[in-house]
Chains A and B, each alone.
Chain A
Amino acid sequence: MNPFATILLAVRQLGRNKIRTFLTMLGIVIGIASVIAMVAMGQGASSMVEKQISSMGRNLLMVLPGAASSGGFSFGAGSTTTLTPDDGVAITKEVSAVAGVTPVVRTRGQQLIYGNQNWVPGSLMGCSTSFTDVRDWEIEAGAFFTEQDVFAATKTCVLGKTVADNLFQGEDPVDKIIRVKNMPFKVVGVLSAKGTNAMGSDQDDLLVAPWTTVKHVLQGSAFNNVDQLLVTAVTAPRIAEATQDITTLLRQRHRLRDKEESDFRILTMSEMASTMTQTSRVMTVLLAFIASISLLVGGIGIMNIMLVSVVERTREIGLRMAVGARRQDILLQFLMEAVVLASFAGAIGMALGAGSAVVISRVLHWPTLISPGSIGISFVFSCAVGVFFGFYPAMRASRLDPIEALRYE
């Protein structure tokens, strides 16, 4: 009997008892559908995290000042004042794995006023001109402030999209004057929209000014220390090298002895990214595991029904043997029925799972990603369930004695 005829026979046989076939398939359908939907949700979540992290700059490193301590009393992170913009310049010059550095000075709670509108940006930061390169951020309108602005600490600023929209309500912000801490600042440009970051805060809710302006004018500080240095590595694989070289360089510049602790810390974005994707991967595996249990239950359902079917069709098996079927023909026939049942159920489950993933992303606004991999794997898996759980009933069928089978009542 050729394989195609066997498949056809199996399909017809299953078509003879549609309700039973449907109910038997249900377990696999639900199993596969939940695998597909859950993996789609899990992968959607990881890809969102991935996207957000790369929106912050995949090659990003942060050099943060360490904690100062005096007489065993720690002043907390950022309390040292040794990290300066000159460190940044030195890093740019001497570390070959680094593409760009900008110092960052932050201040909070500053109200911006334009006309009768006011807005408090989520973040107000001072940077150097390499900010746009380091953060890989485009200017949408106008221009970024210049080296000259940084040098002279001019009252210029660049607005994030959210700030520009709220303060100017559709007006063109470029070259307009806004008031920050009662001082007039000239808006020279607007940054393009970047969306929320991995932590869910709006990255566009910011104002960027020369770091000198923020430090000396807004904060009124006489010092030159910065809150962090944002560094980009040339490529992601060179992040480790960059970290190493920056550490060496800064320890040297800060004149730290070998046994002394560093007065700075380096965080890399890829570390954060891997932690986050790790978390969502664990979730995906967990969900898939739960879903595969229902697949197992579905498989047992198939085995059960196939065993019933073998008993019911004992005479048919006897007859087939009488007219020339070999044991292997019978084995193959019943095995094929189980496989067709399982794979058909798998196909329905895939459609259902993909459908519900789409519905979930529409209704719950949860990002989903249906990967061809999960489709392929679950199809192979449902076929495997058919083979595994169909084998025992099929073997029982093929071991029947034709004489007894023909007399079975």
Chain B
Amino acid sequence: MTDAVIQIDKLNKIYHMGEMDLHILKNVSVAVKRGEMVAIMGASGSGKTTLMNIIGCMDRPTDGSYTLDGEEISTVKPDRLAFIRNKKFGFVFQSFNLLARTTAQENVELPLLYWNRIPSKEREHRALDSLTRVGLADRVNHHPSQLSGGQQQRVAIARALVNQPQILLADEPTGNLDSKSEKEVMGIFHDLHKAGLTVILVTHNQEIADHAERTIRIRDGIIQEGTG
């Protein structure tokens, strides 16, 4: 499978909690193709969040192999992981995670502050581009508290897009939204998918998962279907 951007083989994740070992992911193998829109589904405690953290280079597997874009990730140094997070991923969280008392513009610029030497004019320009892409060009100087939940999540998506990542990782992106905002946000994900981005949705909601081309179901740390 040469066009797989994410290739995970026989991956295990074990947490040591004092005396107990928690075996969160058991022999997981998953592949995601470039440009795919995939949903990872499972109940809470199923290990889907841990899998997402490992895919997003926030966490490292205990053993097994994870190849991203041809690079073996499971053994690289923390600084390299930070670099990969910055360049290849855009993160969207359930709770938006926008900085309070900070304008939408500045929130979106945040990823450009690291690993980049971009003049502030160029940063502003790219942040504005990104906000325009999610339809918030007129909310540039608003603080998160002045925006609706849906708008806040769109700012978060703009932030995820600003560094032109290959993969968009969304963790319950509509979990805190009403149905109208949910529609808007999912619409944006579809648009981005059409534009060629790889989109990974992590959810426990079947309706959201139905937006994806393919669903990977995980239960008790074992992939039930959709290994790919």
Across the two chains, which residue of chain B brings its CB closest to A320?
A: B110
Q: A323-B110, A323-B111 are in contact. Are A403 and B58 (CB under 8 A)?
A: yes
Chain B: interface size category: 20 to 34
Interface residues of B in 95-139 (CB under 8 A from A): 97, 99, 101, 110-111, 113-115, 117
Q: Which 7 residue pairs are nearest across A and B when measured between Cβ atoms?
A: A324-B86, A323-B111, A324-B114, A326-B82, A319-B97, A16-B101, A324-B85
User: Please, which residues of chain B bring their CB within 8 A of the CB of A320?
Assistant: 110, 114
Among B79, B93, B114, which residue has the most Cβ atoms of chain A within 10 A?
A: B114
Q: A5-B113, A329-B114 are in contact. Are A323 and B85 (CB under 8 A)?
A: yes
Chain A 283-325, CB-CB to B under 8 Å as 1, else 0, gives: 0000000000000000000000000000000011011111111
**Given the complex of chains A and B, what is the CA–CA distance between A319 and B114 in angstroms?**
12
- Apart from A5-B113, A322-B58, A323-B114, 14 more pairs, CB < 8 Å: A316-B99, A319-B99, A320-B114, A321-B82, A322-B91, A323-B86, A324-B83, A324-B85, A324-B114, A324-B115, A324-B163, A327-B78, A403-B58, A406-B93
Binding site for A on B (CB under 8 A): 53, 56, 58-59, 78-79, 82-83, 85-87, 91, 93, 97, 99, 101, 110-111, 113-115, 117, 159, 163
Any chain B CB within 8 A of the CB of A195? no
Interface size on A, residues (CB 8 A): 21
**Given the complex of chains A and B, what is the CA–CA distance between A2 and B114 in angstroms?**
9
| Nearest-Cβ distance from residue B101 to partner chain A, whole angstroms | 5
**Given the complex of chains A and B, what is the CA–CA distance between A329 and B163 in angstroms?**
18
User: Please, which residues of chain A bring their CB within 8 A of the CB of B91?
Assistant: 322-323
User: Please, which residues of chain B bring their CB within 8 A of the CB of A406?
Assistant: 93, 97
Across the two chains, which residue of chain A brings its CB closest to B101?
A: A16
Any chain B CB within 8 A of the CB of A402? yes
**Given the complex of chains A and B, what is the CA–CA distance between A319 and B85 in angstroms?**
11
Flag if B82 contacts A325 (CB, 8 Å).
yes
Chain A interface main SS type: helix
Among B78, B83, B85, which residue has the most Cβ atoms of chain A within 10 A?
A: B85
**Given the complex of chains A and B, what is the CA–CA distance between A1 and B112 in angstroms?**
9
**Given the complex of chains A and B, what is the CA–CA distance between A272 and B138 in angstroms?**
78
| Nearest-Cβ distance from residue B198 to partner chain A, whole angstroms | 18
Q: List 9 A-B contacts (CB under 8 A).
A: A16-B101, A318-B97, A319-B97, A323-B163, A324-B82, A324-B163, A327-B78, A329-B114, A406-B97
| Nearest-Cβ distance from residue A19 to partner chain B, whole angstroms | 14
User: Please, which residues of chain A bring their CB within 8 A of the CB of B159?
Assistant: 323
| Nearest-Cβ distance from residue B98 to partner chain A, whole angstroms | 8
| Nearest-Cβ distance from residue B147 to partner chain A, whole angstroms | 17
Chain A 240-280, CB-CB to B under 8 Å as 1, else 0, gives: 00000000000000000000000000000000000000000
User: Please, which residues of chain B bring their CB within 8 A of the CB of A325?
Assistant: 82, 113-114
Interface residues of A in 320-351 (CB under 8 A from B): 320-327, 329
Q: A5-B113, A16-B101, A323-B110 are in contact. Are A403 and B59 (CB under 8 A)?
A: yes
**Given the complex of chains A and B, what is the CA–CA distance between A148 and B129 in angstroms?**
101
| Nearest-Cβ distance from residue B5 to partner chain A, whole angstroms | 19
| Nearest-Cβ distance from residue A229 to partner chain B, whole angstroms | 77
**Given the complex of chains A and B, what is the CA–CA distance between A280 and B204 in angstroms?**
77
**Given the complex of chains A and B, what is the CA–CA distance between A96 and B123 in angstroms?**
79
User: Please, which residues of chain A bring their CB within 8 A of the CB of B113?
Assistant: 1, 5, 9, 325
Across the two chains, which residue of chain B brings its CB closest to A328?
A: B79
Among B82, B85, B86, which residue has the most Cβ atoms of chain A within 10 A?
A: B82
Q: A403-B53, A403-B58 are in contact. Are A326 and B114 (CB under 8 A)?
A: yes
User: Please, which residues of chain B bring their CB within 8 A of the CB of A402?
Assistant: 58
**Given the complex of chains A and B, what is the CA–CA distance between A229 and B112 in angstroms?**
82
Across the two chains, which residue of chain A brings its CB closest to B111?
A: A323
